[in-house]
Amino acid sequence: MIPAPSPAPIIVTALFGRADQAWLEAMRQAHFPPERNQLAAHCTMFHHLPPSIEAELKHRLAEETRGIRAPQAKVAGLMSLGRGVAYRIVAPELLGVRARLAEAFSGLLTPQDAGGWRPHVTIQNKVQPTTAKLLLTALERDFRPRDIEVVGLATWWYRGGPWEALSRHMFA
C-alpha cells in the first residue's frame, strides 16, 4: 500500500489563456536559467497557504470563479527583480479576488503573502544583476502594453520541486 502524501503548503496562481501562456512560456524558456526552470510561466497570488484550509480555499475559489466573467488583465510593463526580470500584470478585479481571500485567511498568511501583492510573471530569475539589467533594458526598448487573458485560478501543492496540481477553478 502506497502511503498518502504528507500535507504540503498550497500555492494559488492565476491561469492564462493558451496563446498568452505560450507567449509567456516562450519568454521564460528564452531567459530563465535552464537548470532552475522547473515551472511553467505563472502569476502567483499566494505562495504558502496551510494545507488545513484546502476545502475552504477550494470552496472560496469556486465562489470567485463559477459563473463569473474573466477579469480584465494587462501586461502593463516590466519589473526589475534585482537578479531577474518580470512582466508586471495589472488586473483590478483579480486584485479584488486576492484581497477577499487574504481577508478570509488573514491569520494564516505568511509575511510574504500578508505583505501585499504585486502581480507579475517572472521570465528571468537567479542571474547576475548585470545580466538582469541587460535583459530589462533590451525588453523595455520594444515593450508595448498588451491585454492578457486570465481564464481561471489554480491551486498547487508545494513539495520542494515542481508543483503538484491540486485544483482548477475556471471563469465563465
**Beta-strand runs (E) in 39-147:** 43-49, 74-80, 85-90, 120-124, 146-147
pLDDT tens for the 172 residues of the chain, in order: 665 566 799 999 999 999 999 999 999 999 999 888 889 999 999 999 999 999 999 999 999 999 999 999 999 999 999 999 999 999 999 999 999 999 999 999 999 999 889 999 999 999 999 999 999 999 999 999 999 999 999 999 998 888 999 999 999 9
Question: What is the predicted pLDDT for the residue at 3?
Answer: 55
The CATH number of domain 10-170, selected from 3.30.70.3040, 2.30.30.100, 3.90.1140.10, 3.90.550.10: 3.90.1140.10
Q: Are 159 and 38 in contact (CB under 8 A)?
A: no
Q: Three-class SS of residue 34?
A: helix
Closest CA to 11 of 168, 171, 163: 163
Q: What strands, in cross-sheet order, belong to the sheet with 10-16?
A: 43-49, 10-16, 150-157, 164-170
pLDDT at 7 (0 to 100): 78
The predicted pLDDT at position 116 comes to: 87
Domain ranges in the chain? 10-170
Amino acid present at 41: A
Three-state secondary structure call for residue 167: strand
